[in-house]
């Protein structure tokens, strides 16, 4: 399809004209991407992308899950044979089933990327699968399609990755020392596997953590010290935030001695399920405590049942399309943390969930009172036009525009970064235009807010 100038705009002529004008004013502004999952190695090594299947299918579980739902095996979609022949076959499957992506977030970003990056306006199909494959494959060999060139072309002002606390951040260092690369790529401290004793391998993880910082015995005080130490290492290498993916955002506050006791019980396998939950909740509060000290922003992504289908997880590992949202609760769960640190001037706590009812029931009201709390952008499944519009409609009346996080692309798919931000900017422009036409804000306000949403607001939220 041919991209239209006014895409994502629905409304009267006047509303659309104003939306277009607002979008125009921000469309060329640099992208701030303070949370995502791009592999820093991709940029550090700066090798050409192998082929269209690797680029658009293999690592995008938004796409593979829908093909899986249509009956295709993950083995033929990057989790098995990835030979050139297999890649071409995967691409064919993808093109033949293009219709299943119609109306989805993935369909939108792929369509945009095909045209904007590769000049492709044909609708993918079984017929043109091979020629599209060849066309893209050829372009991937051009220097302007190397990751670093794209980074520059995308006008990314800052890109945050998500990293294990024990990661030595070698690719980040390599990028910082790469004289050809002037972009800013920063790590994010993601300690889930160390904080929650219910995680498999938790004991090993703790041992490795203690070892990494050269402490000699596995005890609670060293565990805390090691985490502080790794945070400092991350901060020193540019990190501005820590990220926490939790099933429930439960927080607790144990006494030092109680924390020590349960920590021991967890290590010796004698802790009850309740004690493990208390400990995990305590560690979330400890993270807030450390943020008050070191200033790292906390982002909390809550309410996902990870790896829902056991067999797929066993065969193909995590991030294979079957993380399924569940109901989530913040008001009660976060109370302990917020009562202790919610008004601390150093804390920023950005809340994300996949339960849109919670946006206006809990998150916006919390962000409308606590200086530390901010409303996380529509995330994951909600990273799409209608969801993003509902997000604005539900959150703005309660918390205004200035208690948000700015848009977060949260993506593994490097090529999708510009179009995701474009989507957010277009939806926000449309929303603002509607408010102006309904006399709810002035045009001047709209113009200022449009700019702030992509600049001042994410900068403030992530202390950039």
- Looking at 244, 394, 425, 447, which residue binds a second copy (CB under 8 A)? 394
Give how many residues touch a second copy by CB under 8 A: 94
Q: Is 310 in the site for a second copy (CB under 8 A)?
A: yes
Asked whether the beta carbons of 154 and 413 are under 8 A apart, the reply is no
Q: Is 230 in the site for a second copy (CB under 8 A)?
A: no
Residue 426 Cβ vs a second copy, minimum distance, rounded to whole Å? 9
**CA–CA gap between residue 190 and residue 81 (Å, rounded):** 31
Q: Is 221 in the site for a second copy (CB under 8 A)?
A: no
- Looking at 99, 153, 270, 463, which residue binds a second copy (CB under 8 A)? 99
Q: Is 134 in the site for a second copy (CB under 8 A)?
A: no
Considering only residues 352 to 391 of the shown chain, the ones binding a second copy according to CB under 8 A are 354-357, 360-362, 364-371, 373, 381-382, 384-387, 390
289: how many CB neighbours lie within 10 A of its CB?
17
Location of structure tokens 């000049």:
119
Q: Is 277 in the site for a second copy (CB under 8 A)?
A: no
Give the x/- contact pattern for a second copy in 406-425, rule: CB under 8 A.
Answer: --------------------
Q: Is 292 in the site for a second copy (CB under 8 A)?
A: no
Residue 284 Cβ vs a second copy, minimum distance, rounded to whole Å? 17
> If DSSP states are collapsed to H, E and C, what string results for the chain?
CCCCCCCCCCCCHHHHHHHHHHHHHHHCCCEEECCCCCCHHHHHHCCCCCCHHHHHHHCCHHHHHHHHHCCCCHHHHCCCCCCHHHHHHHHHHHHHCHHHHCCCHHHHHHHHHHHHHHCCCCCCCCCCHHHHHHHHHHHHCCHHHCHHHHHHHCCEEEEECCECCCCCCHHHHHHHHCCCCCCCEECCECCHHHHCCCCCCHHHHHHHHHHHCCCCCCCHHHHHHHHHHHHHHHHHCCCCEEEEEECCCCCCCCCHHHHHHHHHHHHCCCCCHHHHHHHHHHHHHHHHHHHHHHCCEEEEEECEECCCCHHHHHHHCCCCCCCEECCCCCCCCCHHHHHHHCCCCCCCEEEEECCCHHHHHHHHHHHCCCCCEEECCCCHHHCCHHHHHHHHHHHHHHHCCCCECCCCCCCCCHHHHHHHHHHHHHHHHHHHHHHHHCCCCCHHHHHHHHHHHHCHHHHHHCCC
- Looking at 35, 37, 68, 282, which residue binds a second copy (CB under 8 A)? 68
Residue 440 Cβ vs a second copy, minimum distance, rounded to whole Å? 6
Stretch that binds a second copy, among 133-141, 150-158, 180-188, 392-400 (CB under 8 A): 392-400
Considering only residues 7 to 46 of the shown chain, the ones binding a second copy according to CB under 8 A are 7-13, 15
Q: Is 459 in the site for a second copy (CB under 8 A)?
A: no
Nearer Cβ to a second copy, position 90 or 453? 453
Asked whether the beta carbons of 303 and 247 are under 8 A apart, the reply is yes
Residue 299 Cβ vs a second copy, minimum distance, rounded to whole Å? 18
Which residue from 187, 188, 232, 225 is spatially nearest to 209, judged by alpha carbons?
A: 225
Residue 434 Cβ vs a second copy, minimum distance, rounded to whole Å? 5
Q: Is 107 in the site for a second copy (CB under 8 A)?
A: yes
Q: Is 75 in the site for a second copy (CB under 8 A)?
A: no
**CA–CA gap between residue 100 and residue 86 (Å, rounded):** 21
Q: Is 237 in the site for a second copy (CB under 8 A)?
A: no
Residue 89 Cβ vs a second copy, minimum distance, rounded to whole Å? 19
Q: Is 402 in the site for a second copy (CB under 8 A)?
A: yes
Residue 419 Cβ vs a second copy, minimum distance, rounded to whole Å? 12
Residue 445 Cβ vs a second copy, minimum distance, rounded to whole Å? 5
- Looking at 219, 309, 412, 459, which residue binds a second copy (CB under 8 A)? 309
**CA–CA gap between residue 300 and residue 423 (Å, rounded):** 23
Q: Is 307 in the site for a second copy (CB under 8 A)?
A: no
- Looking at 24, 47, 442, 463, which residue binds a second copy (CB under 8 A)? 442
Give the x/- contact pattern for a second copy in 324-353, rule: CB under 8 A.
Answer: xxxx-x-xx--x--xx--xx-x--------
Stretch that binds a second copy, among 27-35, 84-92, 173-181, 309-317 (CB under 8 A): 309-317
Stretch that binds a second copy, among 213-221, 253-261, 268-276, 397-405 (CB under 8 A): 397-405
Nearer Cβ to a second copy, position 98 or 203? 98
Residue 308 Cβ vs a second copy, minimum distance, rounded to whole Å? 6
Which residue from 329, 231, 246, 234 is spatially nearest to 287, judged by alpha carbons?
A: 231
Q: Is 48 in the site for a second copy (CB under 8 A)?
A: no
Residue 169 Cβ vs a second copy, minimum distance, rounded to whole Å? 33
Nearer Cβ to a second copy, position 50 or 448? 448
Q: Is 290 in the site for a second copy (CB under 8 A)?
A: no
Which residue from 323, 285, 328 is spatially nearest to 305, judged by alpha carbons?
A: 323
């Amino acid at each position: 399809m041919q991209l239209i100038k006014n895409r994502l705009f629905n409304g009267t002529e006047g509303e659309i004209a104003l939306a277009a004008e607002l979008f125009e004013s921000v469309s060329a502004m640099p992208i701030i991407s303070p949370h995502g999952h791009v592999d820093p190695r991709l940029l550090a090594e700066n090798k050409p992308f192998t082929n269209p299947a690797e680029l658009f299918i293999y690592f995008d579980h938004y796409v593979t899950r829908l093909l899986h739902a249509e009956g295709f095996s993950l083995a033929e979609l990057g989790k098995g044979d990835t030979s050139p022949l297999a890649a071409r076959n995967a691409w064919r499957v993808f093109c033949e089933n293009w219709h299943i992506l119609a109306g989805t977030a993935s369909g939108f970003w792929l369509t945009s990327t095909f045209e904007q990056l590769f000049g492709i306006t044909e609708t993918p199909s079984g017929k043109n699968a091979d020629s599209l494959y060849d066309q893209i494959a050829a372009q991937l060999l051009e220097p302007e399609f190397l990751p670093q060139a794209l980074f520059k072309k995308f006008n990314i002002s800052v890109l945050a990755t998500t990293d294990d606390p024990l990661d030595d951040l070698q690719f980040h260092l390599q990028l910082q020392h790469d004289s050809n690369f002037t972009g800013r790529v920063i790590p994010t401290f993601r300690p889930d596997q160390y904080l929650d004793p219910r995680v498999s391998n938790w004991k090993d993880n703790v041992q490795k953590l203690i070892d990494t910082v050269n402490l000699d015995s596995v005890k609670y005080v060293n565990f805390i010290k090691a985490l502080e130490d790794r945070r400092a290492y991350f901060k020193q290498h540019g990190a501005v935030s820590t990220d926490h993916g939790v099933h429930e955002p439960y927080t607790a506050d144990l006494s030092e001695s109680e924390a020590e006791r349960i920590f021991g019980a967890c290590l010796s396998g004698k802790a009850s399920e309740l004690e493990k939950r208390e400990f995990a909740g305590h560690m979330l509060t400890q993270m807030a405590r450390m943020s008050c000290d070191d200033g790292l922003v906390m982002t909390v992504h809550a309410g996902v049942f990870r790896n829902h289908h056991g067999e797929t997880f066993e065969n193909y590992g995590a991030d294979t399309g079957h993380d399924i949202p569940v109901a989530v609760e913040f008001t009660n769960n976060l109370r302990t943390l917020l009562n202790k640190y919610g008004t601390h001037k150093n804390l920023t706590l950005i809340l994300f969930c996949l339960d849109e009812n919670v946006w206006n029931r809990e998150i916006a009201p919390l962000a409308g009172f606590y200086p530390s709390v901010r409303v996380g952008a529509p995330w994951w499944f909600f990273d799409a036009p209608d969801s993003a519009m509902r997000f604005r409609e539900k959150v703005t009346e309660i918390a205004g525009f200035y208690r948000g996080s700015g848009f977060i692309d949260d993506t593994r798919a490097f090529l999708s970064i510009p179009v995701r931000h474009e989507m957010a900017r277009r939806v926000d422009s449309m929303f603002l235009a509607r408010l102006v036409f309904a006399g709810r804000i002035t045009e001047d306000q709209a113009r200022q807010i449009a700019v702030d949403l992509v600049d001042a607001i994410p900068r403030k939220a992530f202390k950039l």
